[in-house]
């Protein structure tokens, strides 16, 4: 660690020690060590594939085929991914009562896999490890959808109502999940410390949460390998690798 990072880490450890409520907010950067590429880094998902907007998914069987194909191409990475040191640190904060919940933009289920109860993971962009029906909301497993998709070249319809199935993620142009956004806002407004971890903080409205927290009186900490638009507003910026900053150290 360079001197800046060492000083920042000491300040962060002292802050955690002095705080009652710490809310972690995670982005794709916390999962890159687990083998899931992020969106915007070189070679990330964004640079390889343009996202399929929600209205295109609804309108065209071709777009749906493309979306499912891409999703199943990621199956190996998603199925093999295991929580990393960052996920484990957060799971410890939740288990000790320091964190009431974790807010995540990630869709990979790794916070739940690290032992955080589903109700304590506030997913603002949904979850890609299962599908839901766009009409009735019923959950369907990908292990059921995949062989049917491969046999017929399209995903099956909902078993309950015949509606369209889609991974339970929020696509561009799709409404944000209201209850998750409400909870995220409340957590941001009520915490002592808000820690943004591994997010480029450019996708709104989720990226507005750090500033909501700060404007409500919380200390703002940012952990990321690159600068973010919120760095100037932060009290502590830890610029470096998440896997070495949140590395199962006893004092964090």
Is 98 among the residues that bind ligand NAD (CB under 6 A)? no
C-alpha 10/C-alpha 101 separation (Å) is 24
C-alpha 103/C-alpha 110 separation (Å) is 12
Which of 12, 16, 25, 32 touches ligand NAD (CB under 6 A)?
A: 32
C-alpha 9/C-alpha 15 separation (Å) is 10
Give me the least distance between CB of 160 and ligand NAD, in Å please: 27
> Which strands make up the sheet holding 139-140, listed edge to edge?
139-140, 126-133, 165-169
Is 72 among the residues that bind ligand NAD (CB under 6 A)? no
Q: Which of 87, 111, 125, 140 is catalytic?
A: 125
C-alpha 19/C-alpha 57 separation (Å) is 44
Token pair belonging to 160: 């309950």
Give me the least distance between CB of 104 and ligand NAD, in Å please: 8
Give me the least distance between CB of 114 and ligand NAD, in Å please: 13
Q: What is residue 144's DSSP assignment?
A: H
DSSP strand pairing (165-169 vs 126-133): antiparallel
CB 212 within 8 A of CB 218: no
Is 35 among the residues that bind ligand NAD (CB under 6 A)? no
204 classed as catalytic? no
**Is 161 annotated among the ligand-binding residues?**
yes
Token pair belonging to 163: 């509606």
Which of 12, 33, 101, 114 touches ligand NAD (CB under 6 A)?
A: 33
186: buried, middle or exposed (CB in 10 Å: 19+, 13-18, 0-12)?
middle
Is 107 among the residues that bind ligand NAD (CB under 6 A)? yes
Which of 105, 129, 132, 167 touches ligand NAD (CB under 6 A)?
A: 105
Is 226 among the residues that bind ligand NAD (CB under 6 A)? yes
Name residue, tokens 């046999």: 151
Nearer to ligand NAD, 30 or 155 (CB): 30
Give me the least distance between CB of 145 and ligand NAD, in Å please: 19
Cite the active site residues: 125
Question: Binding-site residues, please?
Answer: 133, 136, 158, 161
Question: Binding-site residues for Zn(2+), please?
Answer: 133, 136, 158, 161
Interaction site with ligand NAD (CB under 6 A) = 27-29, 31-33, 36, 38-41, 44-45, 105-108, 125, 198-200, 203, 224-226, 241-243
């Amino acid at each position: 660690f360079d001197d800046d990072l060492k000083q920042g880490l000491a300040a962060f450890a002292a802050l955690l020690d002095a705080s009652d409520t710490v809310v972690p907010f995670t982005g794709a950067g916390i999962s890159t060590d687990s083998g899931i590429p992020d969106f915007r880094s070189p070679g990330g998902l964004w640079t390889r594939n343009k996202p399929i907007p929600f209205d295109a998914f609804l309108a065209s069987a071709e777009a749906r085929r493309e979306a499912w194909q891409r999703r199943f191409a990621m199956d190996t990475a998603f199925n093999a991914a295991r929580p990393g040191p960052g996920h484990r640190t957060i799971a410890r904060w939740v288990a000790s009562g320091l964190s009431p919940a974790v807010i995540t933009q990630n869709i990979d289920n790794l916070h739940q896999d690290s032992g955080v109860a589903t109700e304590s993971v506030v997913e603002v962009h949904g979850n890609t490890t299962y599908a839901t029906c766009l009409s009735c909301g019923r959950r369907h497993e990908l292990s059921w959808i995949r062989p049917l998709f491969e046999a017929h070249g399209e995903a099956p319809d909902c078993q309950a109502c015949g509606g369209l199935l889609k991974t339970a993620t929020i696509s561009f142009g799709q409404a944000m999940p209201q209850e998750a956004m409400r909870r995220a806002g409340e957590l941001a407004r009520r915490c002592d410390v808000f820690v943004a971890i591994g997010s480029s903080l450019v996708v709104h409205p989720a990226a507005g949460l750090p500033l909501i927290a700060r404007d409500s009186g919380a200390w703002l900490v940012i952990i990321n390998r690159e600068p973010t638009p919120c760095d100037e507003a932060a009290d502590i910026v830890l610029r470096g690798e998440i896997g070495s900053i949140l590395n199962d150290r006893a004092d964090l």
